Amino acid sequence: MNATATQRADTGIDWADLAAEVLRGVPVTPEQAMAILRSGDDALLGLLDAAFTIRRRHFGRTVHLHVLRNAKSGMCRENCAFCSQAMGAYSGVDRYTLETVEELVEGARKAHAMRAKRYCMVTATRGPSARELETVCEAVRRIKAEMDIEICTSLGLLLPGQAEALAEAGVDRFNHNLETSERYYPEICQTHTWADRVETVKSVHEAGMDSCCGGIVGMGETDEDRVALAFALRDLGVASIPVNFLDPRPGTPLGHLPKTSPRDALRCLCMFRFVNPTREIRAAGGREVVLRHLQPLALYPANSIFSEGYLTTGGQGHDRDLAMIEEAGFEVTRD
Ligand code: SF4
């Protein structure tokens, strides 16, 4: 059944009881995760409250801000269907080669001034060349020497030895999303495989870095695909899960899709929290345009957001992000 046509039903599950089970260390089942996605609007506040009890146990009311840097834009030769920087996308995004070390360090200074816990340098590419890797590593060394901020890099698929080089330079985390379930992935990308992505995440772990690995909701996948992704991330042991919501970009193969409803987006965040109770869950790309007036409610299941926009689209702005967090009674922290 298509996710947009999912029938809402009374699941018969008491969300508070399920959260209590999770807090006792009992993992939720795929059936329970499906029930979360298929629960009705009348149960939504109760579901959010239950997800919050799990989030609060592990993260209190703290929020981690992540700031992205599009370090190399618009020139990718891969064909991910959602991506405005992909080969064949007619999206008009900026196209430039890898920024200089000084530009990357300057970006980190700005992120630090915005109280970001992490600064994430991202390149639109299948994977980094040796020269690109050295530029990023040099930027990381200089950032680490100058300021107290965690570094994430997102550079595509890694070759043997590249994860180790990044770890040695001081990278704390490497981002590489699975994007969707293994079943649905071939509908989204044909130039590399889901298994390629899993291998890169494993190489990140073997090199001693944390992984940031999530996906995108709203690409035409089913509820089963969403649940399968959440469990795949659990099984991989990723530290951080960005839950992105497709903001359909004109000029991409998915540009015609309707946006996920705000309430379905919240149910997804809750499902990821229940399946991955101790992990950082981020209300990531598409937050503003998909959640709209319900944005602050995302802070109940999620403990992290990107601030100051995304790779090729703007957000609502850093000041409004801070105001939203404060007005909802949460607290930005670097701890
Ligand atoms: S590999 Fe990354 S930059 Fe390239 S098309 Fe896929 S998502 Fe876009």
Active site (annotated) includes residue 197: no
Mean of the per-residue pLDDT values of the chain: 94
> Residues 173-208: pLDDT tens digits?
999 999 999 999 999 999 999 999 999 999 999 999
Q: Is the domain covering 30-332 a CATH 3.40.50.1100 domain?
A: no
For the chain, give percent helix, strand, coil, nearest 5: 45, 15, 40
Active site (annotated) includes residue 268: no
pLDDT category, 7, cuts 50, 70, 90? very low
Across residues 14-38, what is the average pLDDT?
A: 97
Among 114, 51, 33, residue whose Cα is nearest residue 298 = 51
Phi first, then psi, for residue 271 (nearest 5°) are: -60, -45
Catalytic residue among 55, 69, 137, 152: 152
Active site (annotated) includes residue 189: no
Best probe residue, ligand 1, of 72, 85, 200 (max atoms within 8 Å of C-beta): 85
Active site (annotated) includes residue 80: yes
Residue 131 has pLDDT above 50, yes or no: yes
What gap in Å lies between CA 52 and CA 60, rounded to an integer?
9
Compute, in angstroms, the gap from residue 218 CA to the centroid of ligand 1.
Answer: 17
Across residues 289-313, what is the average pLDDT?
A: 93
- Residue pair 120/175 in contact by the 8 Å Cβ criterion: yes
Across residues 312-324, what is the average pLDDT?
A: 91
Compute, in angstroms, the gap from residue 192 CA to the centroid of ligand 1.
Answer: 10
| CA nearest ligand 1 atom 6, residue | 80
- Better-scored residue on pLDDT, 223 or 312: 223
Compute, in angstroms, the gap from residue 222 CA to the centroid of ligand 1.
Answer: 22
Atom of ligand 1 nearest to the CA of 85: 8
Residue 61 has pLDDT above 90, yes or no: yes
Residue 1 has pLDDT above 80, yes or no: no
What gap in Å lies between CA 275 and CA 30, rounded to an integer?
9
How far is residue 44 from each of residues 93, 174, 229, 303, measured CA to CA in Å? 37, 33, 22, 18
Residue 85's pLDDT is 86
Across residues 153-178, what is the average pLDDT?
A: 96
Active site (annotated) includes residue 76: yes
Residue 85 near ligand 1, beta carbon < 6 Å? yes
Residue 315's pLDDT is 87
Across residues 214-238, what is the average pLDDT?
A: 98
Residue 80 near ligand 1, beta carbon < 6 Å? yes
pLDDT category, 9, cuts 50, 70, 90? low
Atom of ligand 1 nearest to the CA of 83: 8
Across residues 264-268, what is the average pLDDT?
A: 98
DSSP code string of 199-214: HHHHHHHHTT-EEE--
Residue 156 near ligand 1, beta carbon < 6 Å? yes
